[in-house]
A and B are shown apart, each in its own frame.
Chain A
């Protein structure tokens, strides 16, 4: 089930909210949350539920044993076996085909590659469980006594299938004691509605433009005029942020509605002034996972330049690989590694671009990164690069491109604005007005602002009607 679907919004979500709100005790609320989460997960195929429950059980069991056998050799043994089980299953389900294909490419064997369907959300919940086992081993959190509570943490439908990757210690306390403050419920409603509209209206609209101008088919791609390629890259850049951050917005919003506080996952990445800053603002829960569980354990940047570069290399190869089991994702990760190294060298020589140029440089690097991200087939990347500079023998523009651009120019403009803190700033002003001002005008202004979530909901429902084909970009990860 995807969040931005009529079925989820108009049926699953609201029924869950009603049932949940009518539970008197926290235990009752948690049971409702767990039952709905399991139904949500089973929606994508009941067979994968077994895997989720099994992996959670392994993590729960190992963590409990780690805590019980603290300071014995078995403690480490349980820690290692927990990690091996979790990472092993992730590899089997996600990377078997990729590894075998790569071997086949080099050695010619095996002849037949088994087709393994990727269980929904496995990349996300495996990382959540991993962080839990490691944190327990490090003694940073207490192991969860109750298995079903850990299942609730790992399988919670808010973030189970598409993030953010919530750390156990972030929500451990709130799982058993939480209170939803009214201001946060309102904030959550806003986030949910904004996320829904971001996906259903803006991201899907941008996707249409991107798919038209950056078709997957090489021949069609090669006939695109220069302007189409550039507009296509812009649209795809907008789409991928709006799409993914919308999912996090909805997850964070649903959490706030019931008093769970998830970590922010995006902080306006496209206003960043460097690649390093971009990655501090983009998919924060993933980059901090790799920082805390890979980069720092490897020694971080404290063991000399060579080791720092090695550590960065490992982190970015893994980051790439996490996004998809194909070489283009690895290249995409290492592409960022290169720029991060370059930026470190710049720093050594105190090289600094003026602020505006810094942002333009970042955007260009990131946008081109998305081209690597989009095309699994490297020859298509070549076509795009040539197309960007008019080397495919096509015109600068054509009528179709012009018309299509004209018909979507305001959509793209709004999408660009949607990537900046502007909307949130305006909303905060409304909040302020409603809080502090006196008089009729302020009331009207505030009430108008309060109706925005409903307006966004209705617009989104309209956009989703008849748009049953609505794939979520990050679903396969």
Chain B
């Protein structure tokens, strides 16, 4: 009797305790969910832009009867709700940390692996003819690309506004598929024959139009994959050989064009810090070798790196980080930016995409910029038009650099060789280069293009400057 009563008491105690546990299980779940719900309702906490992805987030949709009947309105509300969830970036980073546990992750690929076009060893007229026929359509498309590019610019302007408080944002030039091995990221390179032919045509056309007025230099910059990644691995990823691609382009340029191939020089120095590990740009040291090669081609004496005032900005984690799903190895191994301040002057003026003019510095203090934007320390980032006047020179010498962001690290080296350096970012500049050259009495037109800029869209923009 006694025993069974004890047993019953014990069972009752167990039952009570079990119920208590169940209540905890249920209540903790509900309370956390209520907290999340309240958090989601605090509208001011919702971000409007993503620094990580460099894009504007979804906006709350506008109401329409049609949208309600068909359901798009509600669908858009759901998308907006998720896309602008408070602390989105922190949650994304946390999620990326979880996703790293999905596998071994010694190497990573983000994006699709494809194959490049075969690189011809010769360039035949027939080829051009054929391509030109097809081109009719493509240049239309390129023009359209440019139109849509204008839209992109508009949205970029909103981001550019941040520039005023020193938070400059780099517009990434379409970072493609990213391959990460050890602590270094690469962008896969695929040769596109049609774009290359279009590029050749564009440069030759420029030389033709500027014949007798200015000398055209074409500096072709490899990207890090061509310099730092083992050739076999490049091949197994289906990547094209950048050296061959540059040879193809340079061999087919008009004899008036002074082609500058920096691939071999950079390759022979690939023990040095020529490219960032976390970003798709070259370092100022990489750009320096291109500058040296350019000086040789132009027949002037290049300055030694020791002649410049050297500044360093550490803790740079660039585009590969945000486009490589925030790979931890990159965040844990930030890059250091070394910048060489020109001797003649560090003052420049640039016009932003709203047409506003700003006094700026050729090499600005990158240490105040946020982690992902430090490459903007060079010539104020990507602006439609910048100009640097060197008070040390009064010889009337001047050049115009036509560039995408690879040119930014390169331009500071030119400052000491020209009285005036004009810089044009072909993606944003509106104008005609031959006219510009005539008006400003420019002697050298210098193209600085990286391997990935030999693309249909980029060539479309550049061609536009000569029409």
Contact = CB atoms under 8 A, between A and B. Distances in A.
A25 interface: no
A44 B23 contact: no
B237 A18 contact: no
A465 B88 contact: yes
Contact of B25 (A1, A7, A14, A450): A450
Contacts of A465: 82, 85, 88, 91-92, 95
A14 B103 contact: no
Interface stretch (A178-186, A260-268, A311-319, A373-381): A178-186
A434 B83 contact: no
Interface residues of A, number: 61
Interface in A1-22: 1, 5-11, 13-15, 17-18
A91 B95 CA distance: 43
A436 interface: yes
A186 B33 contact: no
Given A11-B40, A453-B25, A468 B103 contact: no
Interface string B1-20: 00000000000001001110
A198 B423 CA distance: 53
B32 interface: yes
Nearest to B53: A466
Contacts of B24: 447, 450
B101 interface: yes
A404 B14 contact: no
B33 A44 contact: no
A457 B26 contact: no
B104 A406 contact: yes
Contact of A407 (B83, B92, B108, B113): B108
Interface stretch (A159-167, A328-336, A386-394, A395-403): A395-403
A182 B26 CA distance: 9
B18 A410 contact: no
A186 B26 contact: yes
Nearest to B180: A403
Contacts of B79: 468
A10 B37 contact: yes
Contact of B77 (A7, A193, A403, A411): A7
B26 A189 contact: yes
Contacts of B23: 182
A37 B467 CA distance: 61
A13 B81 CA distance: 14
Interface in A179-211: 182-183, 185-186, 189-190, 193, 205
A14 B37 contact: yes
A5 B83 CA distance: 11
A462 B103 contact: no
A405 B108 CA distance: 10
B: interface residue count bin: 35 or more
A454 B28 contact: yes
A68 B95 CA distance: 59
A6 B40 contact: yes
A104 B236 CA distance: 46
Nearest to A435: B18
A410 B103 contact: yes
B69 A400 contact: no
A464 interface: yes
Main secondary structure of the interface of A (DSSP, over half): helix
A407 B98 contact: no
B70 interface: yes
A457 B29 contact: yes
A251 interface: no
B102 A411 contact: yes
B78 interface: yes
B71 A44 contact: yes
Contact of A468 (B33, B69, B83, B113): B83
A13 B104 CA distance: 36
Specify which of A45, A409, A467 lies most central, judged by the most chain B CB atoms within 10 Å of its CB: A45
B417 to A, nearest CB: 44
A422 B34 CA distance: 31
Nearest to A470: B82
Nearest to B58: A468
B68 A46 contact: yes
B29 A189 contact: yes
A399 B85 CA distance: 36
Contacts of B113: 400
B82 A463 contact: no
A43 B40 contact: no
B431 interface: no
A450 B106 contact: no
Interface string A16-57: 011000000000000000000000001111111000000000
A177 interface: no
A436 B94 CA distance: 37
Contacts of A46: 68-69, 71
Interface of A: 1, 5-11, 13-15, 17-18, 42-48, 182-183, 185-186, 189-190, 193, 205, 212, 398-400, 403-411, 434-436, 446-447, 450-451, 453-454, 457-459, 461-468
12 contacts: A1-B78, A14-B34, A44-B75, A400-B113, A403-B107, A403-B109, A406-B107, A407-B105, A434-B17, A454-B29, A466-B83, A468-B78
Given A14-B37, A182-B26, A457-B32, 4 more contacts: A6-B78, A8-B78, A409-B104, A453-B29
Q: Identify the 7 closest CB pairs spanning chains A and B, nearest first.
A: A45-B71, A450-B25, A407-B103, A411-B102, A462-B95, A468-B82, A7-B78
